[in-house]
Structure 1
């Protein structure tokens, strides 16, 4: 049976002063404000989004 893996992401730096597409990526991850956390499905698309804004977010757990 296939298990849906999940990944927990936390916004640790402000998006103020960052590129517009990076802000859109953070919003696409479902993160709104500082210290916001979301549990997301661990897919290649989500991994790519996290990698794009790795200086703003941290993978928790």
Structure 2
């Protein structure tokens, strides 16, 4: 199963509450912080919600 590297590239200041909570649920609390998450439907949906704030890269397992 592949993994995703998700990096917060834009600030959460002034964003709607659901976008802030989605970023925190993914573990993205600071600017330029990266996390590795499994590539599944739930994670893809969360990334889609904040796609304008993050950079996503696919990793092969």
Fold in common (TM above 0.5): yes
In 2: Cα distance, 1:48 partner to 1:58 partner:
14
Gaps in structure 1 of 5+ consecutive residues? none
Distance across 1 between alignment mates of 2:48 and 2:57: 14
The answer for unaligned runs of 5 or more in structure 2 is none
CA distance in 1, matches of 2:46, 2:55: 12
TM-score by length of 1: 0.90
Find the structure with the greater CA-based Rg. Answer: 1
After superposition, the CA RMSD in angstroms is 0.9
